[in-house]
């Protein structure tokens, strides 16, 4: 058959009038209005419906998955394929199978990410402590709910929590799970929302239950006595600092320091690391250790490898002969993720509002919420028993005359009139009459009726007891405490993370393990660095440099000294002299921009050995200004490798120097002038990036070219150029004062 020709739509060319019309339709909208109408709903959705856990300890994705498994009968039934669970969960959580399966993986026993796993898994579910051990596809693994999930769904069918429609209104799902223990504290949780985040560390189940019981008894109790410290599924050691923990418990913000557990195998001369801090991975530890070995900072290790198998985590470290394992591990603990800090931010959704709460506030919110759950459960039971009692009371009236009841039923012509006739004949209501009418013929005997009516007394007592519970908060709290005791007894386990007192640890001090000896440091204009011992300096010949390169500065130091290297990008790099190998005068040395990983195009302009950071640095700029900055401003508590804004970048740097005692400096300009002044005329600046104060009053296009100590200036007549007040214009250099050409910082 011949193909039909496509109909072509003719589009009129875009005329100038049309363009004007289109432009007229463009409406400008303030950015604040755009954010409010477009961005804020998205941000709130992520915060409320995705990333932040609620008081039951779950995010929506966790809750939807577990509830689906519960409705599938996986609490007491056999395991089923994970793919089946994922497919069923999509009825509540339509965000793709991959996201659902990843959620189940983290909740599983095999992944080892939780203190109390909620999914009893079979197959490969990866490991929380390894980034390379991936979980198998959902079609290969199987899962069911762990026994502890019975505490998550306890009495969920008794109206203990509110239900809401799922995304398409085809079924109901719980808004919260009625957990009978404070799961919000037991299960570690991490969530990143928009503009906020949540990171909750896990606590031991038994300790958490005991702390909750004691809190119910006495809200002012010392929680640290019962909830000793966080407990992590990966084990390891927690470095105990009571003040830091008290701050964390009070504010909900803080951190805990964790370190690995290890043992020394003397026969094989190796160290086995078998537990690592929660949040880090085996690969991260091995990569960092390998980097230290490669750079020569750790020389005691001959090999390091991952020997993790079905028996559990293991990192094997082969030692060189004569190595002290304790000192080596102190070094590795300080330089690798074998010691790590777990930061906490207890951000929780309370009634739809994110709040950062301390542990005491969390327990207060959980107890209040649990009281509501128990009261709703008791009220549900009360209604059921009251209804049953009401029906049995109607049956009791039949006991007075069974024959009469039979007669009424037999003599009633229409079926629809049976219930009204029974209501009239015995003075009972419609529900009671309907119940009597439905009794089987075989049960219309005195024995059956007497047995049922005997329940009236016990039901009356139970109803009275339930009413008393609903009116007594003390009794409800007692029920909650009893349930917590049962949970701790059934599912409680010993602590996995052991506690080490902070004052019992021997911290690694790098200087103690570094050989100390005097050295001379040389820096060339092109950025080549040499560290030469006195013996090599005496025996060596002339210093070797590249063509057109020469010495910029030489400094006496020791092998344990720190080193500050300043660059033309107003940055300073921190290093240790011991990080560099000893060299000879005949070698070119180490190229600092490459060794210190400087930015592209960045060049070295100065270096200094700060010692105890008690001196000052003096920066001279081409615009005639100078800034005196205390060395203490460059001392950092952490091992930071680079500091930005090391000095002002408003004007190019002409020269710099360091000093501990006041001295005289000589400044030179491009128009042949010189100025001598005392550093005491400059007051120290509090900020490193200070522009400084004017030292020389420059004329025309003149600029400062260099600044050196008076002794190195080559000037004979000092008094001609010396001033006692700044700024000053200086004096023209006389021929006898010009001396040798001054060393200047050249542009590269």
DSSP conformation letters of 162-185:
-EEE-TTSSSEEESS---SS-HHH
CATH 3.30.365.10 for domain 261-337, yes or no, is no
By CB neighbour count within 10 A (0-12 exposed, 13-18 middle, 19+ buried), where does 573 fall? buried
Of 608, 583, 577, the residue nearest 533 (C-alpha): 583
Supply the pLDDT for residue 355.
Answer: 94
Q: How far apart are CA 745 and CA 748, in angstroms?
A: 9
- Please state, in angstroms and as integers, the Cα–Cα distance from residue 348 to each residue in 138, 177, 252, 597, following that order: 31, 15, 10, 41
The answer for residues whose C-beta is within 8 angstroms of residue 364's C-beta and 6 or more apart is 215, 219
Q: How far apart are CA 17 and CA 25, in angstroms?
A: 13
Q: How far apart are CA 676 and CA 668, in angstroms?
A: 9
Q: How far apart are CA 191 and CA 51, in angstroms?
A: 5
Q: Beta 237-240 vs 253-259: how paired, if at all?
A: antiparallel
Supply the pLDDT for residue 510.
Answer: 61
Contacts 24+ apart (CB under 8 A), 131-139: 131/281, 131/283, 131/284, 132/283, 133/308, 135/105, 135/111, 137/83, 138/81, 138/82, 138/83, 138/85, 138/86, 138/97, 138/101, 139/81, 139/82, 139/83
Supply the pLDDT for residue 509.
Answer: 63
Q: How far apart are CA 279 and CA 723, in angstroms?
A: 62
For the chain, where do the domains classified as CATH 3.90.199.10 start and end?
Answer: 58-178
The answer for residues whose C-beta is within 8 angstroms of residue 320's C-beta and 6 or more apart is 299, 300, 301, 302
Q: How far apart are CA 392 and CA 107, in angstroms?
A: 47
Of 423, 426, 427, 431, the residue nearest 403 (C-alpha): 426
For the chain, where do the domains classified as CATH 3.30.1360.40 start and end?
Answer: 261-337
Whether the Cβ atoms of residue 694 and residue 726 lie closer than 8 Å to each other: yes
Classify 645 in phi/psi space as left (phi over 0), alpha (psi -120 to 50) or beta. Answer: left
CB atoms within 10 A of CB 211: 26
By CB neighbour count within 10 A (0-12 exposed, 13-18 middle, 19+ buried), where does 302 fall? middle
Fold that domain 364-491 belongs to in CATH: Topoisomerase; domain 3 (1.10.268)
Q: Annotated active-site positions, please?
A: 140
Of 704, 707, 683, 701, the residue nearest 693 (C-alpha): 683
Residue ranges, the chain, pLDDT below 70: 1-25, 506-513, 637-640, 739-748
Of 440, 416, 434, 454, the residue nearest 426 (C-alpha): 434
Q: How far apart are CA 414 and CA 408, in angstroms?
A: 11
Whether the Cβ atoms of residue 237 and residue 338 lie closer than 8 Å to each other: no
Chain-centroid distance, C-alpha 187: 15
For the chain, where do the domains classified as CATH 1.10.268.10 start and end?
Answer: 364-491
Helices 359-399 and 473-491 meet at what angle, rounded to 10?
110
Q: Which residue has the tokens 């390169």?
A: 549
Q: How far apart are CA 124 and CA 131, in angstroms?
A: 14
Q: Which residue has the tokens 């007594």?
A: 472
Q: How far apart are CA 437 and CA 615, in angstroms?
A: 103
For the chain, where do the domains classified as CATH 2.120.10.90 start and end?
Answer: 610-748
Quick one: 58-178 is in which CATH superfamily? Answer: Topoisomerase II, domain 5 (3.90.199.10)
Whether the Cβ atoms of residue 211 and residue 226 lie closer than 8 Å to each other: yes
Q: How far apart are CA 176 and CA 366, in angstroms?
A: 12
User: Which CATH architecture is the domain 610-748 placed in?
Assistant: 6 Propeller (2.120)
Q: How far apart are CA 340 and CA 288, in angstroms?
A: 13
Torsion from C-alpha of 561, 562, 567, 571, nearest 10 degrees: -170
């Amino acid at each position: 058959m011949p193909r039909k020709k496509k109909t072509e739509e003719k589009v009129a060319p875009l005329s100038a009038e049309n363009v004007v019309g289109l432009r007229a339709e463009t409406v400008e909208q303030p950015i604040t209005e755009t954010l409010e109408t477009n961005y804020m709903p998205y941000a709130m959705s992520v915060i409320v419906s995705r990333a932040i856990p609620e008081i039951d300890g779950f995010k929506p994705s966790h809750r939807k998955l577990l509830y689906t498994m519960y409705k599938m009968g996986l609490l007491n039934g056999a395991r089923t394929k994970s793919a089946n669970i994922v497919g069923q969960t999509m009825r509540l959580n339509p965000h793709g199978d991959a996201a659902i399966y990843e959620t189940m993986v983290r909740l599983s026993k095999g992944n080892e990410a939780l203190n109390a796993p909620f999914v009893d898994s079979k197959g490969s579910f990866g490991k929380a402590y390894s980034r390379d051990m991936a979980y198998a596809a959902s079609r290969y693994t199987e899962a069911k709910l762990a026994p502890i999930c019975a505490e998550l769904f306890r009495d969920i069918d008794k109206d203990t929590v509110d239900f809401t429609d799922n995304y398409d209104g085809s079924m109901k799902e719980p808004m919260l799970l009625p957990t009978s223990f404070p799961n919000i504290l037991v299960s570690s949780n991490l969530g990143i929302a928009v503009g906020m985040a949540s990171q909750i560390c896990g606590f031991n189940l038994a300790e958490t239950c005991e702390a909750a019981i004691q809190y119910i008894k006495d809200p002012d109790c010392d929680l640290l006595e019962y909830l000793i410290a966080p407990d992590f599924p990966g084990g390891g050691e927690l470095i105990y600092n009571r003040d830091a923990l008290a701050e964390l418990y009070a504010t909900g913000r803080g951190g805990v320091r964790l370190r690995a557990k290890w043992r020394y195998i003397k026969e094989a001369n190796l160290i086995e690391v078998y537990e690592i801090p929660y949040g880090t991975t085996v690969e991260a530890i091995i990569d960092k250790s390998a980097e230290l070995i490669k750079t020569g900072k750790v020389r005691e290790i001959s090999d390091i490898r991952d020997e993790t198998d079905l028996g559990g985590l293991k990192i094997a470290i082969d030692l060189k002969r004569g190595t002290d394992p304790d000192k080596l591990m102190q070094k590795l603990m300080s330089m690798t993720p074998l010691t790590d800090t777990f930061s906490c931010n207890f951000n929780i959704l309370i009634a739809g509002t994110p709040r950062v709460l301390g542990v005491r506030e969390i327990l207060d919110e959980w107890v209040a919420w649990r009281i509501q759950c128990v009261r709703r459960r008791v009220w549900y039971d009360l209604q059921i028993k009251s209804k049953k009692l009401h029906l049995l009371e109607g049956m009791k009236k039949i006991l007075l005359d069974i024959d009469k009841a039979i007669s009424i039923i037999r003599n009633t012509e229409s079926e629809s009139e049976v219930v009204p006739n029974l209501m009239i004949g015995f003075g009972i209501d419609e529900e009671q009459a309907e119940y009597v009418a439905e009794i089987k013929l075989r049960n219309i005997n005195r024995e059956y009726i007497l047995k049922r009516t005997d329940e009236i007394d016990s039901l009356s007592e139970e109803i009275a007891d339930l009413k008393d519970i609903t009116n007594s908060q003390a009794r409800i709290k007692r029920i909650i405490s009893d349930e917590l005791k049962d949970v701790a007894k059934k599912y409680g386990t010993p602590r996995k993370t052991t506690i080490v007192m902070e004052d019992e640890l021997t911290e690694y001090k790098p200087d103690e393990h570094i050989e100390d000896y005097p050295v001379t440091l040389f820096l060339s204009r092109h950025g080549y660095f040499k560290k030469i011992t006195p013996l090599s300096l005496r025996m060596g010949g002339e210093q070797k440099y590249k063509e057109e390169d020469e010495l910029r500065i030489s400094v006496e130091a020791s092998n344990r000294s720190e080193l500050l290297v300043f660059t033309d990008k107003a940055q300073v790099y921190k290093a240790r002299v011991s990080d560099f190998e000893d060299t000879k005068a005949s070698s070119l040395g180490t190229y600092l921009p490459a060794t210190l990983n400087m930015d592209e195009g960045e060049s070295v302009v100065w270096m200094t050995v700060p010692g105890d950071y008690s001196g000052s640095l003096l920066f001279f700029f081409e615009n005639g200004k100078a800034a005196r900055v205390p060395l203490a401003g460059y001392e950092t508590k952490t091992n930071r490798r680079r500091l930005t804004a090391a000095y002002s970048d408003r004007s190019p740097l002409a020269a710099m120097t360091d000093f501990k005692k006041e001295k005289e400096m000589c400044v030179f300009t491009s128009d042949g002038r010189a100025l001598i002044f005392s550093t005491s005329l400059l007051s120290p600046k509090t900020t490193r990036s200070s522009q400084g104060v004017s030292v020389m009053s420059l004329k025309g296009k003149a600029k400062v070219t260099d600044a050196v100590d008076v002794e190195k200036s080559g000037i004979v007549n000092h008094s001609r150029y010396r001033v006692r007040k700044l700024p000053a214009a200086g004096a023209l250099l006389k021929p006898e004062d010009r001396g040798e050409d001054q060393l200047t910082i050249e542009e590269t």
